Structure 1
Amino acid sequence: MTQKSILISGAGIAGATAAFWLSRSGWNVTIVEKAAQIRSSGNPIDVRGQAASIVHQMGLWPEIQRFATGVNSLVIVDAQGRRRATVTTRTTPDPQKEVEVARATLASVLLQAATTDAELIVSDSISGIGQDVGGVDVDFTSGRSRRFDIVLGADGLHSNVRRLVFGPGGSFSRPFGMFVGTMRTTLEGGDASEVMMFNRPNISLSVHAAGGDPLAAFIFRSRDRYDRHDAEARKHLVTSAYSDQGWQTNEAVAEWCASDDVYFDEVTRIAMPSWSRGRIGLLGDAANCISLLGEGSSSAIVAAKTLSDALAAHPNDHAAAFTSYEAVHRRRLRALQRFAGASSHFLVPTSRLGLWLRNSGLALVSGRRR
């Protein structure tokens, strides 16, 4: 029997996890990644719950634990840098059930494990795609063409596969009216176990110790529109929102404008009636974006395992595999999607009253725990 082939567009967390499991269930896996290397910016993320169990099954938990940030608390500060409240960021003290790690590190560990069996193509992407009853023909920007049994788009919020197969992204995007920007920073934070966060209504600036390689994160509300390819536009958005707001906002804006390694995007929910069309399916942020508190990466790991299991169970029936995957994972997403709205108001209150109520509640909780 000829080994079935699958192309995964995107070498991030979802794509690498899917490649790992599909290779082990007998698929001939190829990963194509547009970038030459993984971006170093991006907030640290939590791996917990079912995702932690999956990483244990992959045998990668000890490796990921080596890079744990060690952060376990969030400290709210005022404009003068005075501590107003402290709250734990961990859901369990058991280091075998939860770990926080840099996004780039997690992606690298997963990809290294996946590519022991899967083929990896970097600095290339899909330029054209067409399918028939027997397979999928793919053209690459490098000029090559190949044929696969299945294609998966795990290429993020601005998925190229989704655009080529399902249509323009605006058809499925539901903006939150918020933006997120992250960068490496020299700003002073707390100790190695703390994230420091400062707010004004509609803005948040945090400094994360990140295991000795600190990160700053801007999360803010804005009705402005921007071209995501325009670096000057993103500088203007951050500058106009944060200048002269207190704490270390001016220093953060100066670093932001000088940095050439940043992440910046609009917080968006992708809402699609279906995550597959024929032999082509979507995975991770390409199919859905659901969280502001780091649950998206754990969700991507779980989704990748669910889809891989479904394709292993139905190797000759892609329609049944995609239907099974989607039915199972959509149920998981409902609670996370409902939580996304609440988490946005926790991170970025919209008024002075909302900010005072959040800080007062956190101060009360942290006082009780002392």
Structure 2
Amino acid sequence: MNVLISGASVAGPALAYWLHRNGARVTIVERADAVRPGGLPIDFRGTAMRVLDEMGILAELRSRATGSGDTAVVDADGNRIATMPREIFGGDLEVPKEDLTRILYDLTKDDTEYVFGDTITALTQDTDGVRVEFEHAPPSTFDFVVGADGLHSRVRALAFGPETGFTHSMGYAFTAFSMPNYLNLEHSGLSHVAGDRSVNVGAIRNNTEAMAFFMFPAPDVPRNREAQEQAVRTAYEHVGWEAPNLLAAMSAATDFYFDELSQIVMPTWSTGRVALVGDAGYCASPMSGRGTSQALLGAYVLAGELSTQDSHEKAFAEYEHALRDYVAANQEMARQARDMFGLTPTQEMFDAMAAAGTDDDSSDNVTLKDYVRLAQ
């Protein structure tokens, strides 16, 4: 089995690991020139922890844990009005995203062909495979192509149609960037909610730096950095607390990130010999706190089904059957969190959110097949 994966963030390398372990030959094409640095801290929970353990990287990830604690919610004068428990967005384990992407790359680089600085431009399918054209490399044919290329997936656009047919905007934009830890935060964060927008800052990299995170209503999302920065400044020009100081640090950030908050909802995650995994097929938005876990479980299940079913049609169908309810629950959770914006933050609200994901019936505890045993 010869598989091409588009995207070298989390879902792509995780899928490559499981596919190679099951005997496949894998190539990953990535538009960036190298593994992307930076990104928000990411967390794992529930069944995703077991998958990380089976990949042999859980112990190393634990050694990279952020150790982040609770976030104090403050008013415009900096007075604490509530505490957001770390369990809401910290999961069972939280690590810097760049640590996870580097670990996954190191885990797979010797067995996977990585092609950086290139992208797919065309896909042509027949009953035997997929002919792929690239921006730079010569055309090649693969048994399967998998889009693990995120919210704005190129593979999805080529194989399924325009992004507008599957993107469900949540009406917000968000931006994040790192900066000096001038507030001297120690494994903790601060958050200020001003009506329908919030500004947040938390310690990262063992308190040596901080990361600012803004979320605000945005019907239109600009695509160049200058316009994006201006949109953030406009949205927060009348917001107090530390907003002016955080905005002043924005232009100097080398890891500035800006995007819309959207979900991807599709009637199917595959067409012919092309499939999608992670945000490309079922983004729940950062409001869910489950995007990384979805990517890991999606990779595990997709590779497992391809290695144990007697046809790719059955494999893709079983892949969807195993994860549809899990994805739907995560997307609903994100919508509920979005709907809380505009409400006055209370301790009761945050305590209820923290408690919702801790019981045995949590959607994070997904029952999946033991593909290692089935493949034997």
- Structure 2 CA distance for aligned equivalents of residues 83 and 259 of structure 1: 28
User: Taking structure 1 as reference, are residues 92 and 140 closer, same or farther at Cα in structure 2, changes over 3 Å only?
Assistant: closer
State the SS of the aligned residue for 2:87.
Answer: coil
User: Taking structure 1 as reference, are residues 260 and 91 closer, same or farther at Cα in structure 2, changes over 3 Å only?
Assistant: closer
The structure 2 residue matched to 1:227, chosen from 222, 225, 238, is 222
Q: CA-atom RMSD, angstroms?
A: 2.0
The structure 1 residue matched to 2:28, chosen from 1, 6, 31, is 31
User: Taking structure 1 as reference, are residues 364 and 138 closer, same or farther at Cα in structure 2, changes over 3 Å only?
Assistant: closer
1:158-210 C-alpha deviation (Å, 9 max, x unpaired): 00001111111011111000111110112544632212111101111111112
| 2:92 corresponds to 1:105 | no
Alignment of 1:182-331 (within 5 A): 182-189=176-183, 191-210=185-204, 211-212=206-207, 213-223=209-219, 225-228=220-223, 230-291=224-285, 292-314=287-309, 316-331=310-325
Partner of 1:46: 43
Amino acid at match of 2:43: D
State the SS of the aligned residue for 2:76.
Answer: coil
Alignment of 1:166-185 (within 5 A): 166-185=160-179
Partner of 2:356: none
- Structure 2 CA distance for aligned equivalents of residues 275 and 91 of structure 1: 29
Structure 2: 5+ residue runs without aligned partners? Answer: 353-376
Moved more, 136-145 or 264-273: 136-145
Alignment of 1:88-167 (within 5 A): 88-90=85-87, 98-167=92-161
Q: What is the percent sequence identity of the aligned residues?
A: 35
State the SS of the aligned residue for 1:105.
Answer: helix
Partner of 1:361: 348
Alignment of 1:323-342 (within 5 A): 323-342=317-336
State the SS of the aligned residue for 2:19.
Answer: helix
Amino acid at match of 1:300: A
| 2:7 corresponds to 1:10 | yes
User: Taking structure 1 as reference, are residues 38 and 180 closer, same or farther at Cα in structure 2, changes over 3 Å only?
Assistant: farther
Partner of 2:70: 73
Partner of 1:344: 338
Q: CA deviation at 1:300?
A: 0.9
Task: Flag as ranges the 4+ runs of structure 1 deviating above 6 A.
Answer: none
Amino acid at match of 1:247: W
CA contact (8 A) 1:189 1:208 kept: no
Q: CA deviation at 1:364?
A: 8.5
Q: How many residue pairs are counted as aligned between the two chains?
A: 349
Amino acid at match of 1:332: Y
Q: CA deviation at 1:10?
A: 0.3
Amino acid at match of 2:52: V
CA contact (8 A) 1:157 1:289 kept: yes
- Structure 1 CA distance for aligned equivalents of residues 246 and 36 of structure 2: 20
